[in-house]
Amino acid sequence: MITAAELRAIPLFDKVDEDDLADLAARGVEVAFAPGDELWEQNLPADDWFVLLDGRVELVRTVGYEEMLLGVLDAPGRWAGGFRAWDDAAVYLATGRAAAAGRVLRVPAEALKAWTNDWNPFGAHLIQGVFRTARTVESAARQREALVALGTLAAGLAHELNNPAAAATRAVDALGEACDRLVSTVGRLASSSISAGQLVRLDALRRELAGGQEGGESDPLALADREEALSDWLADHGVEREWVLAPALAAAGVDVDWCQRAAADLGGALDAGLSWLVDTLGVTTLLAEVKESTHRVSDLVGAVKSYSQLDRAALQQTVVTEGLESTLVVLKHRIPPGVEVRRDYAPDVPRIEAIAGELNQVWTNLVVNALDAMGETGTLRLSTRAERDGVLVEVGDTGTWASPQARDRAFEPFFTTKGVGQGTGLGLDISRRIVSGRHRGEITIDVRPGETVLRVWLPRQHDPARP
């Protein structure tokens, strides 16, 4: 057991009197270690305070597939951890790994808090205030980031919903007018003494044109020639309003031969029959527009539902490509026409057990960063493939948002390469916390000439205790 006399030899405790040193020694325990021993582990709760007595301990942080040496405890009195004495959410920022045999004094965070309160209440109050202030600032910044993300989502959804909703509204208004015209045309058709047989043959001719509306003439010049030919034919056969009927018939795929057959079947009811046909085709076209518009609205709502995961359990079997695609739908308004989106999804990617809503937040942060880096032109590359016992997702862009020098700081809280007012520096930090802390995965950045790639590896099974 360590004594107060041994602690007195350490410069860290120069200003502490004998009774307080004895109290601290009684609250802690001496721990011996050998080379290679891990005294504490990155991202786990910082429940203990470690003071080096002798030996050497390296502070190693794992970022993606690489380990980064952040610092070294190489002199008696160097310390690490214990942050939970003042912050209930604090974790170890790196792993403490012994490089040479030695000893540490380990004091539980609660005991450290009680000791500092007894030894120097004012100093303990200041330390707690610093931690609380830092946490408040970080919380406020994260809240702002969340509000910005929510605003982006709402603006994107409103933008994407506006076009199909407006199209559906216009089609419904036009549909009301078209139905009124159709009712009037039916009256004209009835007054022309058309027989039941003629009506049946007219309907058969209409059904011939069912496919023409979808696969009509795509060449504008050929369509104009057909329209002119139809207009001349209709005028020659005494059809009124040929300038109105000809464009609609031409767009539906009608030619002069079809008109000849219609004239043979309808006789004196040709004018009323063609008017009924055009009005019927108009109603059908407008109904198709309403169907397409409302279907688009439904798809957008489904994409947002998938993105937010509001109707699903938090932890679930997840297909990462679905999250990537729903993210692209939500952010479609942010993608400039000059940015090409390339998808490279491997067919053998397994489902993973994950919190899908949180992963979608990761994809949003990575895609938004990529778009901001590229500006108006570039290539956004999304790829997935099976790797190890999990899935590797890559988000690459041809922009220049990060430099090789910024790579080592990219995941630090509040670090940003964007201009003032354009970013909080929390997007990648939040992504790192979700990937590494919540899913025990890995996130790395690779800055190379012509492309910046964010790689996210996620394990197939969600194990909160996984190292």
Helix (H) or strand (E) segment spanning residue 275: helix 270-308
CA distances 335 to 275, 396, 399, 456, Å, are 45, 14, 14, 22
pLDDT at 108: 92
Instruction: Tell me which residue of 146, 463, 157, 455 sits closest to 320, measured CA to CA.
Output: 455
Question: How many helices and strands in the chain, by DSSP H and E?
Answer: 12, 13
Residue 465, C-beta contacts closer than 8 angstroms, at least 6 positions apart: none
- Tokens matching residue 390: 């999990």
Q: What is the pTM of this model?
A: 0.44
Residue 185, C-beta contacts closer than 8 angstroms, at least 6 positions apart: 272, 275, 276, 279
Q: How far apart are the first and last CA of the chain?
A: 31
Residues 264 and 189: their CA atoms lie apart, in Å, by 16
Would you tell me which CATH number, out of the four given (3.30.360.10, 3.20.20.70, 3.30.1370.60, 3.30.565.10), belongs to the domain 313-459?
A: 3.30.565.10
Name the amino acid, one letter, at 164: P
pLDDT at 215: 47
Rounded to a whole number of angstroms, the CA Rg of the chain reads 36
Q: Which long-range contacts (CB under 8 A, 24 or more apart) does 220-228 make?
A: 223/250, 223/251, 226/250, 226/254, 226/255
3-class secondary structure for 310-365?
A: CCCCCEEEECHHHHHHHHHHHCHHHCCCEEEEEEEECCCCCCEEEEHHHHHHHHHH
Tell me, what DSSP letter sits at residue 96? Answer: E
Burial of 120 from C-beta contacts in 10 A (0-12 / 13-18 / 19+): middle
CA torsion 97-138-47-112 (nearest 10°) is 110
Q: Where are the domains of the chain?
A: 4-119, 156-299, 313-459
Q: What angle, rounded to 10 degrees, do the helices at 270-308 and 256-266 form?
A: 120
pLDDT at 421: 44
Q: What angle, rounded to 10 degrees, do the helices at 196-208 and 270-308 form?
A: 40
Residues 289 and 287: their CA atoms lie apart, in Å, by 5
Residues 429 and 372: their CA atoms lie apart, in Å, by 17
Q: Hey, which residues does 107 pair with through a beta bridge?
A: 49
Residues 303 and 297: their CA atoms lie apart, in Å, by 10
Helix (H) or strand (E) segment spanning residue 446: strand 442-448
Q: What angle, rounded to 10 degrees, do the helices at 220-236 and 256-266 form?
A: 30
Q: What is the CATH number of domain 4-119?
A: 2.60.120.10
Residues 415 and 409: their CA atoms lie apart, in Å, by 7
SS3 286: helix
Beta-carbon-side half-sphere exposure of residue 257 (alpha carbons within 13 Å)? 2
From first to last of its 467 residues, the chain has per-residue pLDDT tens of: 778 888 888 888 888 888 888 888 889 899 999 999 999 988 888 889 899 999 999 998 875 555 777 788 989 989 888 778 777 777 888 899 999 999 999 999 888 888 888 777 766 666 666 666 656 665 665 566 666 666 666 666 676 677 677 778 888 888 888 888 888 888 877 777 777 888 888 778 778 776 555 545 556 788 787 788 888 888 877 777 777 778 878 877 787 888 888 888 777 777 787 888 888 888 887 887 788 778 777 766 766 665 555 445 567 788 888 888 888 877 777 788 888 999 999 988 888 888 777 788 888 888 888 888 888 888 999 999 998 888 999 998 888 755 555 655 666 655 565 544 444 445 677 788 788 877 888 888 887 778 888 899 999 886 654 44
CA torsion 177-183-184-188 (nearest 10°) is 150
Strand-pair category, 66-73 with 38-40: unpaired
